[in-house]
Amino acid sequence: MFGFGKDDTNALTMNQPHPDSLLDTGVQGVISKPLDRVDGPKKVTGTATYAAEYAIENVAHGVLVSATKGHAKIKAIDADAVKAIPGVIDVITDYDTFIRNSQQGGETSAPTQGVRTIDYFGEIIAIVVAESFEVARDAAKQLKVDYEPLDGTFDYEANKGEAEPAPDGLIKGHYDQGDFDKAFENAPVKVDVTYTTPSQNSAAMEPHASIAVWEDGALTLYGAYQMPTSDAQQLAKALGVAQSKVRIISRYIGGGFGSKLGIAPESVAAAIAAKQLGRPVKAVMLRQQVFDATVRRSNTEQRMRLGAEAGGRIVALGHESITSNLPDEDFFEPVGIGTHFLYGGENRRINHDVVRLNWTLSGSMRAPGEAVGMVGMECAMDELAEAIGMDPIALRKVNDPQQDPELKVPYSSRNLTRSLEEGAKHFGWDQRQAPGQRREGDWLIGMGVAAACRSNQLQQSAAKVELHPDGSATVSSAMTDIGTGSYTIMAQIAAEILGLPVEKVTMSLGDTNDPPAAGSGGSWGAASAGSAVYLAAERVRERLAKAMGVKPEDLTLKDGMAIGDNRSVPLAELVGKDGLSAIGEIKPGQQEKQFNQASYGAHFAEVGVNVVTGEVRVRRMLGVFAAGRVLNAKTARSQCLGGMTFGIGTALTEDLIHDPRTGKLVNHDLAEYHVPVNADVPQLEVHFLDERDIHANPIHAKGIGELGISGAAPAVVNAIYNATGVRVREMPVTLDKLL
């Protein structure tokens, strides 16, 4: 990826800290400001073009066909009957379970001739292409498939005894440190509790959609993808064509939340159909297909064993989880990922086991690991605090380690305790009463707290910055904006360093013809692509200094003027008739090994529980977050609001249900799978601590996208206990479990 094109390149591998940042010395004054989204007007006027909305001439409409068995062999597909329907162009069954493995950015299976074995209910087996969407949909429903049923494994409860150790991956499948069993046995205070969370769906608003256009043996795919650079690689592999022959354009994406990290079936189906038919093909997954055949977050069962001294110090920390996935899949929900570094304790056991089920592929969704793992961890901490008779915040402070308890390396920056303290102050934590004590009419009121943490990553990314002869600039990168604010923060970084009003910066994102980037995932997007913009702008700035005849450190850029050496010159005069451009490239290095990098925070929730109906209403929530430099106070806040909202979902509403006879998802749409709606979400308050991380990257920002969800659910669940004195350990906490 390094060395994109022939442009002047400013590359940085993070092997050393980067203490000086041009974002601190810039005088334009736009960085960190709560600017409106630069893409906002386009979105609200309907002129932001999403994948399915490109007006492509002569496009044919494809509708995917879903298997109606949970595990079976396909004996025959009667395509002819459907092809005879007026308006139907073709029925294509010519692709295999390419979706398997592809979601996690790993190996994509090579194309084969037709799906033969169905591994889960709803797996995509064909695409019907017609002159109109309506005809295609009708024909897809009529396609007759002859199956030979196979024995399958569909019931989690009946099969969890067969769970096997997860393979080492992002984190170790099994981890043991010290002598956990002995330490737990001898601990003066103990908690041994099991929490469960159900399968979940990302539930992005925009369904997965692709339009495939072939021209001279090269594919342009208008798609809704989070990581176009690696998605194009996967797609090329799935199609058996050279990487250079696939271009993905994902300029606007209506949410991804993990489900659009890797390619989904509609892109491959559309691409194969378009090639075969010699005309563009559009395929939009039906809502139910998005649920059935992209990815789900695995259900989790988490046994928490915490052993502590009387003063609260943890001596034994056990977090053992069972999750589920299809046979032979390497991915597992990394339930204990945050547990590895959130609290101290010398004796540790963090294990992940996987039961193999014929259920929809399990993959990354909204903070894989922490979002559900912290339900176990942070609710168990609440239980431990009570067992000791200690305030839950005090317990967390006692266990806030000075260094990573496993790797024994320092934290690059860590403000958990400060987040808890600030939050307690703003929230009025001192008003909290003993469980079941506070009542207002028919409502029991309670308060809960939980830590927030999300590991920080830097991913290799590049961006180009061009300064044009008229003094305006363009930033381009194959980075994406999945609703997060990338367009805006990347424009702000360039504007700050080049001394331009943000309106003078034009953004181009989501096109693999632009410099490659890691895209949006794992909360790394802003820091990674943002650092690439930083480096590109830094190089342009150096060349402006040269043109001025001053040293870069003696140059001031503001409002389109270059100031130095007692002169003030418009940028337009300095750049020359060809303009100035540079590529910036960032790559992780030793700093990720020498420091544990993570963002932190604290969640506070107040709930009311109706004593008659058991209904839970979240009354207010407050989050304090420390994620390095905040690049835009408004979009950062919005990220946290979204995360907290999804935390309410995990705690109270989201529950993807599998039929234990077939694995079929019975509530596979937004009417039946409940994400919190406005009426479920009260006033949410978000505070940021002023923090910089010089070990993370040159912009000193850490991941924020998934921080807001990590720990939000347990704060709500702990508040329910404080309100009622009833511990519900099975998510979501629906009213039946409280009565």
Q: Which is nearer to ligand MOS, 393 or 518 (CB)?
A: 518
- Encode 618-631: b = buried (16+ Cβ within 10 Å), e = exposed: bbbbbbbbbbbbbb
User: Which residue's CB is nearer to ligand MOS, number 365 or number 479?
Assistant: 365
Candidates 88, 115, 212, 261; binder of ligand MOS (CB under 6 A) is 261
The DSSP string of 486-500 is HHHHHHHHHHHHHT-
* Interaction between residue 598 and ligand MOS (CB under 6 A): no
Ranges assigned E (strand) in 218-371: 218-223, 246-249, 281-284, 296-297, 300-308, 314-325, 347-356
Stretch that binds ligand MOS, among 160-168, 241-249, 252-260, 353-361 (CB under 6 A): 252-260
In the range 626-655, which residues lie near ligand MOS by CB under 6 A?
none
Q: Cα separation of 411 and 418, whole Å?
A: 15
Rounded to whole angstroms, the Cα distance separating 496 from 31 reads: 6
Part in contact with ligand MOS (CB under 6 A); list of ranges 241-249, 251-259, 553-561, 731-739: 251-259
Collapsing DSSP to helix, strand or coil, 60 comes out as strand
**Measured from the CB atom, is 230 or 399 closer to ligand MOS?**
230
CA–CA separation, 237 and 244 (whole Å): 11
In whole angstroms, the minimum distance from the beta carbon of 365 to ligand MOS comes to 5
Residues listed for the chain: 739
Query: Is there a catalytic annotation at residue 585?
Result: no
Residue 366 engages ligand MOS in binding (rule: CB under 6 A): yes
- Give the nearer residue to ligand MOS in terms of CB position, either 226 or 347: 226
- The site for ligand MOS, by CB under 6 A, has a size of 11
Cα distance between residue 293 and residue 100, in whole Å: 10
Indicate whether 365 belongs to the interface with ligand MOS (CB under 6 A).
yes
Please identify, using beta-carbon distances, which residue of 344 and 369 lies nearer to ligand MOS.
369
Name the residue with tokens 């978000």.
Answer: 686
Whole-angstrom distance, CA of residue 433 vs CA of residue 708: 26
- Kindly report the backbone phi and psi dihedral angles of residue 174, in degrees, each rounded to the nearest multiple of 5, phi listed first: -125, 140
Q: Using CB under 6 A, pick the residue from 70, 254, 256, 338 that binds ligand MOS.
A: 256
- Closest CB to ligand MOS among 444 and 598? 598
Phi, psi values for residue 473, rounded to 5°:
-130, 155
Of the candidates 546, 547, 647, 658, which has an alpha carbon nearest to the alpha carbon of residue 602?
647
Q: Report the nearest approach of ligand MOS to the CB of residue 611 (Å).
A: 38
Interface residues for ligand MOS in 185-244 (CB under 6 A)? 226
Residue number, 263 or 381, with CB nearest to ligand MOS: 263
Shortest reach from residue 256's CB to ligand MOS, in Å: 5
CB of 584 to ligand MOS, least distance (A): 23
Choice between 31 and 365, CB closer to ligand MOS = 365
How far is the C-alpha of 23 from the C-alpha of 631, rounded, in Å? 10
Q: Annotate each residue in 554-573 with x if it binds ligand MOS (CB under 6 A) or - if it does not, as one string.
A: --------------------
Q: How far is the CB of 260 from ligand MOS (least distance, A)?
A: 7
Say how far residue 487 (Cα) sits from the centre of its chain: 17
Which residue's Cβ lies closest to ligand MOS? 258
> Catalytic residue among 266, 466, 706, 730, which?
706
Contact range with ligand MOS by CB under 6 A, out of 144-152, 262-270, 361-369, 632-640:
361-369
Where do runs of H (alpha helix) occur along 649-711? none
| Residue 258 binding ligand MOS, by CB under 6 A | yes
364 binds ligand MOS (CB under 6 A): yes
Q: How far is the CB of 181 from ligand MOS (least distance, A)?
A: 34
The encoded tokens of residue 551 equal 């040293």
DSSP codes, 526-593: HHHHHHHHHHHHHHHHHHHHHHHTS-GGG-EEETTEEEETTEEEEHHHHH-TT-EEEEEEEEE-THHH
Binding site for ligand MOS (CB under 6 A): 226, 256-258, 261, 364-366, 368, 521-522
Give me the active site residues, please.
Answer: 706
